[in-house]
Amino acid sequence: MRGLLGILWVAAAKATAFSASNQKPFVVPGDTATSTVTVEPPLLPVEWEALGPFAIGARELGVDPLSAYGGFEVISYSDSDQYPSELADEGFVKWFKVKTNEDQTVGPVNFPNVRWEFNQDPFGWTSVHHATYFRGNFEVPRSGLYVVHFDHVVSYKIDDKAYVGNVYGYSHSSGTPMHLERGTHRVYICAVMDVRLFGGQIPPKLVFSGEFMPVEEDLPSRNIIVYNDDVITPEVMDGKLITPFFSLTLMNTYVAPAGSMKTQNYSSVNDLSSIDMASTQFDDFGNPTLGRQEMGQPGWVQILDVRAVSNDGTKLSATIPVLFSLKLAPGQVYPLPIDVDFESEEAHGAILTSIHFEIDFYDLDRKDHFVVKSAQFPIRMRTWGEAYKITFLDYDNVVHYAMALPPNKPCSSVGEARCPVILALHGAGVEAESPFWTEAYKRQDYAWILFPTGRTPWGFDWHGPSFLNVESALHALSHLHGVPPLIAETIGINPDKLVYSGHSNGGQGAWWMASHYPDRALAAMPASGYLKIQFYTPYYMRVGDAYTDPVFRALMESSIAENDIDMYAANLAGIPILARTGGNDDNVPPLNTRRIVRLVNEWNRDPHSVHLSEVYGQGHWFTGIMDDDILSEFLDKHLDPEKNPGLNHPPLPEAFTISTLNPGSTGSKGGIKILQLEVPFRLAQIRVHREGTKWILNTINVRRFGFLKDSRAKIDTWEIDGMVFNEPPKIGPSYLRLDGEAEWKLVPDLLWISEERYWSTYGPAVQILNHPFLIVVPSNPTIIPKETYHRNAQLIATSWYLYGRGGTQIIRDIDVRDGIAAKYHLIVLGGPKDNLFTRRREKEGGAEGNAKLVKFLETGGFQIDRKKYEAPGTGMLFLAPSPTRTLMGMFITGIDELGFKRAVWTIPFRTGLMVPDFIVVGDEYGDPATGWTAGDGNPYGGAGTKGTGGIFAAGYWSNSWEFDPRCGYLK
């Protein structure tokens, strides 16, 4: 059993969109595109000292059972010492040694004193989760630059520094550049067995691997490498590119020597006297192009231009389709978007079967130009009628792709101007372009089938960035790229007439989208989908819960509860649903599907409203699971114009309920959208009863809502919470009831958006990823070393690329002009004594600034409400409004370097990680690097680091960006 797709996803994942056969992970371009490194690389330790296994909860960070005894890094190896672990017989585990395999993998590791099956009988898959610690020495034969990869670990340490690991084993993982001196080095691994990643087999197969890839320095490429196994190329149909967008991933492997970063002495944001402003050029958003970044920034480079060259040597017109200057900081990875004009005169007559690129750079320290070349990439040919690839700019200006299967017949032939779209959401680990997946669906007569990626094979469980990727793919499909001109007008798409479908993780995604955006649903067809992450791998074995106030635990869990489909089941009422599962599915057991079917039937007050197709004797995947007679009959009922004239949405029920925990991730039902909650991140509902053309609304925890469009049912009069309106509702404006008041009032304008939180600023912390963001580092810090800020900015950029295949920029505080803050979310590193932008936002004060959220103290600590946090090792992450109030900043600061790093590692780059609007962590919350500690925690805590139990404060800001004790917790 594997992950969420069982028997087939591993094979399917090999058909990757990012890989070309027999290509190396990257080349180091010099005078040609194929100059490579011949230096013998370091190898993993021959032998590891290991200790484990120890119980750990699903997606649990910040907890370490060894911290109470001094921490793994300082505990001496012993043949006799034992440490408590509830997983093992007699309750203790011992040290052991394990050798690295010839292929540079480690494991699988056997634990003879653990009866996994016996533990699993009462506790299920969650008892299989565990953490094991490894450490060993490795030899570096030559001092130099290396790009280091560790697969299937969340993070790792080399000597005293921590780095992000490639926990999913993605082919597009970037690794981390680092300078290693010749000699012996120490590596530390905390390998976590996660059932969602590695499957629930007994015994569990814990395996990880590592690689050190040498990079030649001082080549003409200036340490810029091209990841040739992470390229996205469009396809060709009828001799033409279907879409113009390519993606080529670059990494700046420059590593500054320790302590070498130059310092500019600026006392304020406006103190720019040392800058030659006459020579500084700015782009449309106020971002400096070649001026400011030249000041003492070794290793920084700017991407100036790109050229494309076809297989026959034809030079094609190519541009970088972004409106801002692109700079690569040392250590940064970036998937470069490229727009190739195949319709230009230069391309006339060219037959495109492969392509390579030449990128022009400007060295911002040496102040000269250089060129980097890529490898040659093949271009696939397609024939009309088969599934084909469309590439597009996603919401963060990074190129992604989706597969599209066109309809057999023109929708216009039956009187429809635009066709519905079936969203086919893949399972975990599957590439959207894999024939295994695209051939699982039958081509429809009057509907497109869209196979989005969700950004990566695992994505974000089709929430957040993955959902936005689907929206971008729908928008790209609407342009009908690749469609023959003679039929383009007959098969346009209607993005508001969707059939939500998918398998496994994609089945969960189909449930999620239908329950969160019900007004767009023609129907839903989820297969083998789980109900919520806690139903796949339960959270009840989380170690930190033993130290956590249950009220606080509930507050933390509410940061991921917006993805609980059972809580949103009311929104599914009235939608035609065929729910499919294999009767013997031991991966996502049928209980998941049966439960959500029961809930929806209850909301419909009809025990048979949802069609449950449980296929006897079948497992997680079987032939026909997405395409057999039962599913075809269901789709025909809703997509065949003879059976559904006009391809209309289903009628609204006479009574229905709208539920949400977060307006930022929930659309409308019946044309009604909840815009604000009275108490953020507590369940809000509007219950609607229709009596002819009169609608009766009753609310729970709703502060503001609106009618976004004309409903499918006519409204002449309506009432809400007993207040009567003798006219139809206004479309567009909002209706508001202030706290403590009984009456609702119409708010005719949108001025409230500039003063209060609304859907795009509602949080929680993960919502910072739902809009293009920049990382702001201090130019002249005084508390925490500049190297620490830059290395953690690199870590954030690498994590966004790894988990979301996203791209961002690292900029300095003196470069944050108003145009930048008005266009981007910002992740701002450092408090007001280090970061000038943080200081600016604090001093602006009042309703516009951060002062009423967090007060920074002269001692270096900070205060929320009346609670002060001043202990060493304390760090904080919090959301705050941008100066324009329509976007957000995520501010990350620490009393010292240790506290700052602790806070950085709480950024929720993976689903299931619980981080509200703000969080304060200290010496009882794990190691700043890996979630396990090198020290002993707080000596007065008595238990080392405690995960959630070691969090000092967390919660959600109010609608007016203030602390609210109803949704905040201060320990």
Q: Would you call 741 exposed, middle or buried from its count of C-beta atoms within 10 A (0-12, 13-18, 19+)?
A: exposed
Helices (H), 850-943: 897-904
Torsion of CA 674, 679, 685, 688, to 10 degrees: -70
Which part of the chain is CATH 3.30.379.10? 764-970
Separation between Cα atoms, residue 943 and residue 921, nearest integer Å? 16
Which part of the chain is CATH 2.60.40? 224-266+275-374
Beta-carbon contacts of residue 465 (< 8 Å; ≥ 6 apart): 395, 455, 459, 769, 770, 804, 806
Strand partners, 403: 389, 451
pLDDT digits (tens, 9 = 90+) for 896-909: 998 999 999 899 99
Chain-centroid distance, C-alpha 927: 23
> What is the per-residue pLDDT for 295?
43
Choose the weakest-confidence range: 170-174, 436-440, 750-754: 170-174
Q: In Å, what is the CA distance from 926 to each residue of 543, 918, 937?
A: 12, 17, 8
What sign does the dihedral 533-538-543-547 (CA atoms) show?
A: positive
3-class secondary-structure state, position 543: helix
Q: With 70 as the cut, is the pLDDT of residue 265 above it?
A: no
Structure tokens at 676: 């604000």
Sheet arrangement for strand 684-691: 655-660, 684-691, 694-700, 717-720, 723-725
Of these ranges, 321-330, 528-537, 668-677, the one predicted with the greatest mean pLDDT is 668-677
Beta-carbon contacts of residue 755 (< 8 Å; ≥ 6 apart): 847, 885, 960
Q: Averaged over 62-67, what is the pLDDT?
A: 86
Q: What is the 3-state secondary structure (H, E, C) of 453-469?
A: CCCCCCCCCCCHHHHHH
> What is the per-residue pLDDT for 36?
47
Q: Averaged over 671-697, what is the pLDDT?
A: 96
Choose the weakest-confidence range: 110-114, 159-163, 634-638, 682-686: 159-163
Structure tokens at 944: 């080392």
Which part of the chain is CATH 3.40.50.1820? 383-541+577-647
Q: With 80 as the cut, is the pLDDT of residue 148 above it?
A: yes
Q: With 60 as the cut, is the pLDDT of residue 178 above it?
A: yes
Q: In Å, what is the CA distance from 778 to each residue of 149, 267, 781, 841?
A: 28, 12, 6, 14
What DSSP state is assigned to residue 531? S
Q: Averaged over 389-403, what is the pLDDT?
A: 97
Strand partners, 137: 186
> What is the per-residue pLDDT for 258?
63
Choose the weakest-confidence range: 85-89, 139-143, 756-760, 935-939: 935-939
Chain-centroid distance, C-alpha 27: 28
> What is the per-residue pLDDT for 939?
57
3-class secondary-structure state, position 41: coil
> What is the per-residue pLDDT for 863?
95
Q: With 90 as the cut, is the pLDDT of residue 759 above it?
A: no
Separation between Cα atoms, residue 150 and residue 164, nearest integer Å? 8
Q: Which CATH class is domain 38-215?
A: mainly beta
Separation between Cα atoms, residue 441 and residue 627, nearest integer Å? 6
What sign does the dihedral 419-420-422-423 (CA atoms) show?
A: positive
User: pTM value?
Assistant: 0.92
Choose the weakest-confidence range: 120-134, 291-305, 458-472, 484-498: 291-305
Nearest to 204 by CA among 55, 399, 421: 55
What DSSP state is assigned to residue 861? -
> What is the per-residue pLDDT for 15?
29
Q: Averaged over 230-257, what is the pLDDT?
A: 92
Number of helices and strands in the chain (H, E): 15, 53
Q: Averaged over 949-959, what is the pLDDT?
A: 95
Percent of the chain with pLDDT over 70: 88
Letter for the amino acid at 567? Answer: M
How much of the chain is helix, strand and coil, in % rounded to 5?
Answer: 20, 30, 50
Q: Please report how the helices 505-516 and 464-478 are oriented relative to each other, as an axis angle in degrees rounded to 10.
A: 80
Structure tokens at 431: 């590439």
Q: In Å, what is the CA distance from 140 to each residue of 144, 146, 183, 663?
A: 9, 10, 5, 52
Choose the weakest-confidence range: 170-174, 250-254, 392-396: 170-174
Task: Give the right CATH number for 764-970 from 3.30.379.10, 3.90.1720.10, 2.40.37.10, 3.40.50.150.
Answer: 3.30.379.10
Strand partners, 337: 247
Q: With 70 as the cut, is the pLDDT of residue 28 above it?
A: no
CATH architecture for segment(s) 224-266+275-374: Sandwich (2.60)
Letter for the amino acid at 760? Answer: S
Q: What is the mean pLDDT of the chain?
A: 87
Nearest to 450 by CA among 465, 470, 467: 470
Beta-carbon contacts of residue 725 (< 8 Å; ≥ 6 apart): 717, 718, 719
Q: With 80 as the cut, is the pLDDT of residue 186 above it?
A: yes
Total length of the chain: 971
Chain-centroid distance, C-alpha 816: 25
Superfamily, domain 383-541+577-647: Alpha/Beta hydrolase fold, catalytic domain (3.40.50.1820)
Q: With 90 as the cut, is the pLDDT of residue 274 above it?
A: no
Nearest to 874 by CA among 862, 858, 866, 864: 862
> What is the per-residue pLDDT for 200?
80
Q: Please report how the helices 786-804 and 897-904 are oriented relative to each other, as an axis angle in degrees rounded to 10.
A: 10
Nearest to 519 by CA among 567, 571, 592, 590: 571
Q: Averaged over 69-73, what is the pLDDT?
A: 86
Q: How confident is the model at residue 27 (pLDDT cuts 50, 70, 90)?
A: very low
Residue 504 Ramachandran class (φ > 0 left, ψ -120 to 50 alpha, else beta): left
pLDDT digits (tens, 9 = 90+) for 565-600: 999 999 999 999 999 999 999 999 999 999 999 999
Let me know: does 493 contact 254? Beta carbons within 8 Å. no
Pair type for strands 381-382 and 377-378: unpaired
Separation between Cα atoms, residue 865 and residue 854, nearest integer Å? 8
| H or E segment and range at residue 511 | helix 505-516
Q: Would you call 358 exposed, middle or buried from its count of C-beta atoms within 10 A (0-12, 13-18, 19+)?
A: middle
Let me know: does 466 contact 481? Beta carbons within 8 Å. no
Helices (H), 412-463: 435-438
Pair type for strands 951-955 and 945-946: unpaired
Q: Averaged over 117-133, what is the pLDDT?
A: 90
- 956 vs 263: which has the higher pLDDT: 956
Choose the weakest-confidence range: 159-168, 461-470, 485-494, 697-706: 159-168
> What is the per-residue pLDDT for 494?
94
Q: With 50 as the cut, is the pLDDT of residue 614 above it?
A: yes
| H or E segment and range at residue 707 | strand 702-707
Separation between Cα atoms, residue 815 and residue 811, nearest integer Å? 7
Let me know: does 518 contact 667? Beta carbons within 8 Å. yes
Q: What is the largest CA-CA distance in the chain?
A: 83
Separation between Cα atoms, residue 254 and residue 366, nearest integer Å? 13
Strand partners, 656: 688
Let me know: does 15 contact 431? Beta carbons within 8 Å. yes
Half-sphere exposure of 382 (CA within 13 A, CB side): 25
Q: With 90 as the cut, is the pLDDT of residue 722 above it?
A: yes
Separation between Cα atoms, residue 799 and residue 805, nearest integer Å? 9
Q: With 50 as the cut, is the pLDDT of residue 6 above it?
A: no
The vertex-627 CA angle with 624 and 632, nearest 5°, equals: 135
- 776 phi/psi in degrees, rounded to 5: -105, 120
Q: Would you call 803 exposed, middle or buried from its count of C-beta atoms within 10 A (0-12, 13-18, 19+)?
A: buried
Choose the weakest-confidence range: 32-41, 433-442, 533-542, 671-680: 32-41
> What is the per-residue pLDDT for 17?
29
3-class secondary-structure state, position 699: strand
